[in-house]
Chain A
Amino acid sequence: MGLLVSIRSLVWCQFLACSFFILLFGWHIYQGDDLTALMYLSGSVVIIFTLLSGQDPSKKNLQLLNRLVFAGYTLVSLILLLLAPQKNSFLHLSLYLAYPLLAFYLLPFRVALLFVIGFSILANLLLMLQLEGAFRAIYILAFWLVTLLTSLNRFTHFTRQEALQKQLNRDPKTQLLNQDQLFTDLQKEQERAEREATCLGVICFTSIENFSLVEIKELKGYFAPYEGIYSVQSANKLVALVPLATPQDLQAHKKKLTQHLPHLTLSFQITSTEQSLASDLKAFTTEPGLAK
């Protein structure tokens, strides 16, 4: 990963956070405080895991593992709160302030919210037992303030993201127009072809593997700017809408594409009746793919 990309993707920030987790782990080991050190170690494992696995929602196994790792971190934090002897410095408690941030970053919104609520209630009970006096009041107040602040902040971002997702007409991964836009454009192009007495060709692409950005770029090279390529639900399928002057023009496309893209399964269709094509395409986009 290039330096600029890592700066933009904030990997440097994760690295630094991880370094400080490890540094504080080493410091507490040096001071003989094994329990606190264990908490820092589990924190660094959480960050390292995020760095290695990324946050791809399509990888179900990784998502499950992510939740398990985070559950482990939560457990270690709670055990430390339960067993922590009275210390001179309560600085390690500041790590609990970062808990909601880690939860909301690592997990999907609803799961993270459950983790945060569960952790906050249990941590609050344990803090009531372990701490005392004005310090207890100040710490619990700070803890709830940060938890509330983070939850509200995440909620506002979540609702904004949801609203934007609804407005999207492109696939964030491939940057191609998405399936919703495909059906809107299909109807529009069919009506336009009827009005202009031309035809509309539909080309469906299926690959064994999911389409990569390089393949998509290569594929775009075979089409004119007005011939739209669309992402569909399955990542190994694409659809192109090709306005044609006559039905024979599709043959030229067919010849060119089968010659240059022998590794893809292609299907060519000329629009006939609106209903049947839309239903055919719906079936194509939803039927199980060949990709891994």
Chain B
Amino acid sequence: MSSEVNPTYPRASASLYLVLSLGLGALAFKVYLSGYYQAILLPTLLTPIFIALGSWRWHTANRYTHDPAAVTALLALGLLLLFQPETSTNITQWHWIAFCYPLLAFYLLPTALSLAFCLLLLAGLLHLRLHSHSIEDQLTFSGQFLLLMFIACFYAISNLLKIKQLEHLVGLDKVTGFFNRRHLTQRLNAEVSRARATKKPLALLLVELNQYPEIQKELGQLLADNFIREASKLCKLNCRTGDEAYRYDEQTLLLLIPNTTINGALVLRSRLYQHLLQELTSDLGPLDVIITPLELQIGEQVADLEMRIANSCYHSLSDRVEDKL
């Protein structure tokens, strides 16, 4: 669910790209002023690339395991470190910038790919920049580089793992305050077993808000969140004591109503539908909502019920048909 899982910090990465573009711009300007025109190509070429990456990340969050913006940035910086002509007689300044590379790599892309980038850069630096230095210098440089790389790798990936572990344990959706889908799986197991033990019925209501994706696309995430928050408040108002509310997916809410038959669920459905029509307003025209009642069948297993819930969502019908085809 995108609303609850947003592990990246697009603005922070975007700021970093913009700062790097400023640095590269300053380097290009310095090279221009000093009249060393051989060294102007790479910084001049890379400055707009970093500005573009910054703007891209500012507006759009990453949705991939290996962020393409980060991969591009690391490749570009690697090229600069390897091929930018020397502006002074020694290579000291490249030492320092190269030492910053592993830290930057693991901040931007905390995956094994960064490890590969860093090792490739080290090999490249030893081959292209440090080949004229003594073996002792090369060993010391490699030792320092690898030390920094492993500390950065450990720091960045352990931070990421901590967050993943917490995300895995979170049972609440932050927008609606309802339980999330992960918690639903555990609770369904409990409620089905309780319904069997007490021989009482168990019903569910699936509330699909079909305008949510459109609002999200046309009016932005903030208004889409407000829309689903208002809907969730109305659902909560219509719930009885002991009923539980879940955010099933981005646009679907689910009400778990124990000790209720399908007829009871139909009564609740019609009451909820009226309330939603009267009180929930959408900026994109009349409200488009589908409420599907479901009841636990005799002898039905939890996995089957979960499958039936998934198959009852109308908004994913086209995807399911495509999958089957």
Residues of chain A touching chain B, judged by Cβ–Cβ distance below 8 Å, are: 8, 10, 13-14, 16-17, 20-21, 23-24, 27, 89-92, 94-95, 97-98, 101-102, 104-105, 134-135, 138-139, 142, 145-146, 149-150, 152-154, 156-157, 160-161, 163-165, 167-170, 172, 175, 181, 188-189, 191-192, 194-196, 198, 224-226, 228, 243, 245
A20-B143, A146-B100, A195-B241 known; A175 vs B151 contact (CB < 8 Å) = no
The answer to the question of B197 belonging to the interface, with a C-beta cut-off of 8 Å to chain A, is yes
The answer to the question of B193 belonging to the interface, with a C-beta cut-off of 8 Å to chain A, is yes
Q: Contact at B99–A105, with CB atoms within 8 Å?
A: no
Q: Besides the contacts A17-B154, A188-B242, what 11 more A-B pairs have beta carbons closer than 8 Å? A: A8-B161, A10-B154, A20-B150, A97-B99, A105-B158, A160-B7, A164-B167, A165-B166, A169-B171, A191-B241, A225-B194
The answer to the question of B162 belonging to the interface, with a C-beta cut-off of 8 Å to chain A, is yes
A146, A167, A189: residue with the most chain B Cβ atoms closer than 10 Å? A167
* B147-168 CB contacts (< 8 Å) to partner A: 147-148, 150-159, 161-163, 165-167
* B170-200 CB contacts (< 8 Å) to partner A: 170-172, 174, 179, 183, 189-191, 193-194, 197-198, 200
A121 to chain B minimum Cβ distance, whole angstroms, is 20
A119 to chain B minimum Cβ distance, whole angstroms, is 16
Contacts of B200 in A (CB 8 A): 196
* B58-116 CB contacts (< 8 Å) to partner A: 88, 92-93, 95-97, 99-100, 103-104, 107
**Main SS of chain B's interface residues?**
helix
**Main SS of chain A's interface residues?**
helix
Return the contact of A10 from the options B96, B100, B158 (Cβ within 8 A). Answer: B158
B159, B183, B259: residue with the most chain A Cβ atoms closer than 10 Å? B159
Return the contact of B166 from the options A91, A138, A168, A189 (Cβ within 8 A). Answer: A168
Q: Contact at B7–A170, with CB atoms within 8 Å?
A: no
The answer to the question of B140 belonging to the interface, with a C-beta cut-off of 8 Å to chain A, is yes
Contacts of B99 in A (CB 8 A): 94, 97, 142
B105 to chain A minimum Cβ distance, whole angstroms, is 12
Q: Contact at A13–B183, with CB atoms within 8 Å?
A: no
Q: Contact at B151–A191, with CB atoms within 8 Å?
A: no
B96, B97, B241, B242: residue with the most chain A Cβ atoms closer than 10 Å? B96
Contacts of B162 in A (CB 8 A): 157, 161
The answer to the question of B289 belonging to the interface, with a C-beta cut-off of 8 Å to chain A, is no
The 8 closest A-B pairs by CB, nearest first: A192-B242, A226-B194, A13-B154, A20-B147, A191-B241, A164-B166, A169-B171, A17-B150
Return the contact of A149 from the options B107, B148, B191, B197 (Cβ within 8 A). Answer: B107
A263 to chain B minimum Cβ distance, whole angstroms, is 27
